[in-house]
Amino acid sequence: MNINYPIKFNPILKEKIWGGEKLKTLFNKKSIRNDIGESWEVSDVDGNISIVSNGALKEKSLKTLLSTYKAELVGKKVYKAFGNNFPLLIKFIDAKEALSIQVHPNDQLANERHNSFGKTEMWYVMQAETEGNLIVGFNKNTSKEAYVKYLEEKKLLEILNQEKVHKGDVYFIPTGRIHAIGAGVLLAEIQQTSDITYRVYDWDRLDDEGNSRELHTELALDAIDYSAQSKYKTTYNKELNASSPLVNCQYFTTNIIVMNGVLNVNNTNKDSFIIYMCVEGEITIKNDDFEEVKLLKGETVLIPATLKEYQLIASEKSELLEVYIS
């Protein structure tokens, strides 16, 4: 079967105690529920494997694509490192209410405890209500002992860094950095393939059955980086009809492409798949070898590593997040 075309997947929608309706109303994700917190766009997490929604590979799973096409799909270097495991988990998140305050373990800790990768991630804010905010890191250097004291006295917020956010804000969240998405924030998330989260505080809320969610207080203690940073938000520049860098780490590279018109893409210098997330407007992807693929705001597509040349076309100003492994 032909793999050289832009591959779309069926979103995997996740009901959350803090979820809302924006993934349905703004991005046209199909659900009868009003508490959809996450749309997993590209996933290789056990029990949540993405299924192709278009073209010759329709109904095939991402896992099947990996085992069949190997480096043709993800690139030689990526396949050598990860084999039949896709290295990234791509999501849209709608926080109607605040998420729990949490932290993710690094690769070593996650492997020892859970036989999993760690969870380095980044956020791109697509929309934020007036009071929309994020918690990212500490506002001063602290210690494990001081952290525990603040947590036990329910004063944890006093030592956490809280920031109001706006559309276009970018935050990089390395493992160990305590964080939470605040109420009224809609964002794109790019992360390592891992579902390991240590929840340290959940606002004392209860679910529909009157139960509180599990906390991971002890597990989190050795996972947290207790140092504070002078700045947490990523600064970047946008250039029209070009790929501008946002985040470059060992796990992924993310750029932003601001478009109006036609962009001729040549990826012969990349030995990786590419993922595009449309965060504004709409884009058409085309070349002579496949049927053109339209990408609307809130949609995601995977470009196989062997597909090197194509056009991105925007009839109005549009924006894409471009994700790959360097």
With a pLDDT cut of 90, the percent of the chain lying above it is 96
| Overall average pLDDT of the 36-52 stretch | 97
| Overall average pLDDT of the 204-232 stretch | 92
Per-residue pLDDT, 5 = 97
Q: How far is CA 41 from CA 47, 51, 76, 94, 227, in A?
A: 14, 10, 23, 14, 33
* Dihedral class, residue 183 (left if φ above 0, else alpha if ψ from -120 to 50, else beta): beta
Task: Tell me which of 33, 113, 177, 199 is the catalytic residue.
Answer: 199
Per-residue pLDDT, 269 = 93
Q: Please determine, for residue 2, whether its predicted confidence score (pLDDT) is greater than 90.
A: no
Q: How far is CA 91 from CA 69, 108, 192, 288, 292, in A?
A: 24, 24, 11, 30, 24
Closest CA to 78 of 212, 255, 272: 272
Residues in the chain: 326
Grade residue 99 by pLDDT with cuts at 50, 70 and 90. Answer: very high
Per-residue pLDDT, 210 = 81
pTM for the full predicted model: 0.96
Per-residue model confidence as pLDDT tens digits over 161-185:
999 999 999 999 999 999 999 999 9
| Overall average pLDDT of the 27-35 stretch | 93
Per-residue pLDDT, 208 = 76
Q: Please determine, for residue 1, whether its predicted confidence score (pLDDT) is greater than 90.
A: no
Q: Please determine, for residue 309, whether its predicted confidence score (pLDDT) is greater than 90.
A: yes
Q: Is 113 a catalytic residue?
A: no
> Across the strands, what pairs with 102?
179, 199
Query: Which single residue is written with the structure tokens 């494997």?
Result: 49
Per-residue pLDDT, 319 = 98
Per-residue pLDDT, 207 = 78
Checking 16-19 for CB contacts under 8 A at 24+ apart, the result is: 17/97, 17/205, 17/207, 17/213, 18/95, 18/96, 18/97, 18/98, 18/99, 18/183, 19/94, 19/95, 19/96
Grade residue 35 by pLDDT with cuts at 50, 70 and 90. Answer: very high
Locate 158 and state its tokens: 């006093």
**Pairing between strand 274-280 and 309-324?**
antiparallel
Instruction: Count Cβ atoms within 10 A of the Cβ of residue 70 and give its class: 0-12 exposed, 13-18 middle, 19 or more buried.
Output: middle
> Other CB atoms closer than 10 Å to residue 249's CB: what's the count?
14
Angle at CA of residue 273, ends 269 and 276, nearest 5°: 105
